[in-house]
Structure 1
């Protein structure tokens, strides 16, 4: 039954991802944003949340101490390890069997020799991180990007990537073999890792959100540049070079 639900969800969101495709001349500079008015409202909400919890304009920003840095490293390693089975599923669906095999080995090494995923033993052996998601799988399958979206709390996305996020909820093998409530530990770790990255890249994030003339447009361009570069697609026009700016924290 769960497998049938996953297949149904994949078919449904794939159709949704393809529902908004710009026609000739309707996407200036390669940016298709028909929901801009709504997106800007969500962006403003996200900005207020960020300002309340993270922004240096509300509190003094300090470099995390050694203990905090070590904790963030452990959380990041564990979040990566528990995400690997889902990554492997997507790489198999993309036909990237070599990458899927390497990530399977990476998971095995880190889950055992890496003390349950807290250590990154695999990277020391040359098996570096290679992430993937169902948004990338849809791109490989030829599903168009669709319209740009801003999601509450999550931030920049596209219709295709939003659909991918939904399907990824069903394609994580660990969610079917790990009982409740233990299965939510991985979700919590990924959330903490995101918070840690926000703090780690606070300068770059705040430059865009608070110091740009139009933080929404700037963040939209950075996201689309970076995401299309990752997928090997044509980047939108603009002055930002994805190779010249560190966007890992977004």
Structure 2
């Protein structure tokens, strides 16, 4: 446990030092992308993976698997992730959302058949998502440079550090038997494959029908993420509510 905490502390320190730009307002046109050459290569790789694997898998999953089963998988993935969300909300000093998500987890894990059903939403307790990238933003860590990650898609230096730390912050990972530890990850991956199928037209329009899919996806991600975090965004950017880019 001591070694794990030391490793987590090191990751946090690295994340704090990695984000060198004070935020979206400090870069020309609100985009700081000093790694664009490398990012474009990663983007080309992600497009190939999508074209050869993810698109067909997503459309097949959304077509073949009954919608109710897809919902069960997504609900389970969301329920398993909730304790990690609660940890982040506590670190952000948000006891209200942390309490609601704790109650939501308890309801769905019991009355919702181990999280397969979203009973809590029917009770008026919707999920309030969060992650360590948001925690860093609350702590005042700047956004840093834009990044595109293999398989995971668009991100920033701050959010990339958050993704790494989130691997260690879910309490369930330390209490459930090891043979069940991969179920949540598998459910998450399946839910994202399903999302690729359900939103195939939207994703295709960005990846394969735009003049510069890299630039368009970068703009959509940054606008959407900054809106989620309540950060300022340039007024001429697109509507952040128009698209959900998570999992691209």
**Does TM, scored on the shorter chain, surpass 0.5?**
yes
Please report the RMSD computed on the Cα atoms of aligned residues, expressed in angstroms. 2.3
Greater shift, 191-200 or 111-120, is seen at 191-200
Matched, 1:208 2:206: yes
Partner Cα distance (1:207, 1:87) in 2 = 32
Which has more helix, going by share of residues?
2
Give the 5 Å matches for 1:1-250: 1=2, 2-16=4-18, 18=19, 20-21=20-21, 27-55=27-55, 64-65=62-63, 67-236=65-234, 238-243=236-241, 245-247=242-244, 250=248
CA change 1:171–1:187 in 2 (3 A) is same
CA change 1:90–1:178 in 2 (3 A) is same
The alignment of Structure 1 onto Structure 2 pairs a total of residues equal to 245
Native 8 Å contact 1:221 1:238 kept in 2? no
TM-score (norm 1): 0.91
TM-score (norm 2): 0.92
Native 8 Å contact 1:221 1:236 kept in 2? no
Q: Matched residue of 2:106: which SS?
A: helix
CA change 1:26–1:87 in 2 (3 A) is closer
Partner Cα distance (1:127, 1:24) in 2 = 33
Q: Deviations over 1:1-31 (max 9, x none)?
A: 2233222322222222x2x317999722110
Q: Matched residue of 1:211: which SS?
A: coil
Q: Give unpaired runs (5+ residues) of structure 1.
A: none
Partner Cα distance (1:63, 1:196) in 2 = 6
